[in-house]
Amino acid sequence: MSTFTQHEIEVLEGKRFKFGKNWLSFIKTLNVERINNAENSLKEFLKCESLNNKTFIDIGSGSGMFSLAAKNLGANVFSFDYDGSSVESTQILKEKYYQTDENWKVTQGSVLDKDFLNSLGTYDIVYSWGVLHHTSAMWEAIGNVIPLAKPDGEIFIALYNDQGPTSKKWLKVKQIYNKGFWGKLFISSIFITYFLANFIFYSLKQGKSPFKQWKAYKLQRGMSVYHDWHDWLGGLPFEVASNEKVVDFFNERGFYLKKLRTNNGLGCNQYVFKKL
């Protein structure tokens, strides 16, 4: 008799988006350009040219592209994700590019499982981009990643920007999206059309080609507009945080803010914290 994992139960109950399924679709589009852009994103935010001899933990590895980028930059990488399909996606990239490399390990695990986290040791770079707000216990998850940093380590995270009442409206959209096939079709037909029209309008308003802008989106982090839109629309669980609360949280635990990139609208604020 087959049994469902907790992750699968949450998906069936409409409480969790199939992030891993989206990532398995995304890696079919993966190419050298996207990987290079992911590497450049890490180099820019971490203010380095390489990660040689550094240890890098990718919490919620998703597609695995940023684990691959860190590995390409010379890091010893440990990747884990709660979603089995995300683990599969990361493992596919590992086997494709670093099949026999013992310095990249991939496994399944939860950032809310302290016993699991306590078994992992500490790292030079603790990385979790756009993940911790999808755990259903964001502040607990943020607190759990802190002990993974070495005494001189850095934590690079991205969290959804708190838009107040607007964020509450987006939560309703995501809940409808996850109500099965018809919910996804209803929300996608409205918002993907809206996003696309908005994308074209503002590109033309700025005197830029929508096609070039679409292609330029990859330069940000090597990501895909289409897959990011579905990730946004379906992304449950969903929590948000203000910059002030995040910075205070880390300051109180002995970290200082090294780099910040804010987002005044939809999307994530990005932070790099370092131990004092």
Angle of helix 225-234 relative to helix 19-26, nearest 10 degrees, comes to: 180
**Token code pair at residue 269:** 């604020």
What average pLDDT does range 157-184 have in this prediction?
A: 92
Contact between 130 and 58 (Cβ < 8 Å) = no
Closest Cα partner for 78 from 38, 123, 143, 19? 123
**CATH class of the structural domain 6-162+239-275:** alpha beta
Confidence (pLDDT) at 214: 53
Average pLDDT in the 246-250 region? 98
Q: How confident is the model at residue 156 (pLDDT cuts 50, 70, 90)?
A: very high
Instruction: Return the top range by mean pLDDT from 4-18, 105-119, 183-197.
Output: 105-119
Whether residue 243 is predicted with pLDDT greater than 70 in this model: the reply is yes
Distant-in-sequence, close-in-space partners of 111: CB < 8 Å, separation ≥ 6: 59, 60, 82, 117, 128, 131, 132, 135, 141, 144, 145
The whole-number pLDDT of residue 1 equals 44
Mean pLDDT throughout 69-82? 98
Cα gap 124→103, rounded to integer Å? 14
Average pLDDT (128-155) is 97
Taking only the tens place, the pLDDT of each residue in 81-129 is: 999 999 999 999 999 999 999 999 999 999 999 999 999 999 999 999 9
| Selected residue with higher pLDDT from 226 and 85 | 85
- Letter string b/e over residues 42-55, b meaning 16 or more CB atoms within 10 A of that residue's CB: beebbeeeebeebb
Cβ-based neighbour number of residue 98 at 10 Å: 16
* C-alpha R_g of the chain: 18
Question: pTM value?
Answer: 0.88
Q: How confident is the model at residue 216 (pLDDT cuts 50, 70, 90)?
A: low
Question: Residue 181 pLDDT > 60, yes or no?
Answer: yes
> In which residue ranges of the chain is CATH 3.40.50.150 found?
6-162+239-275
Q: Write down the pLDDT at residue 215.
A: 61
As a whole number, mean pLDDT of residues 218-240 equals 75
pLDDT surpassing 90 at residue 249: yes
pLDDT of residue 3: 60
Residue 193 has pLDDT above 90, yes or no: no
Per residue, what are the HEC states of the chain?
CCCCCHHHHHHHCCCCCCHHHHHHHHHHHCCHHHHHHHHHHHHHHHCCCCCCCCEEEEECCCCCHHHHHHHHCCCEEEEEECCHHHHHHHHHHHHHHCCCCCCEEEEECCCCCHHHHHCCCCEEEEEEECCHHHCCCHHHHHHHHHHHEEEEEEEEEEEEECCCHHHHHHHHHHHHHCCCHHHHHHHHHHHHHHHHHHHHHHHHHCCCCHHHHHHHCHHHHCCCHHHHHHHHHHCCCCCCECHHHHHHHHHCCCEEEEEEECCCCCCEEEEEEEEC
More confident call, 188 vs 133: 133
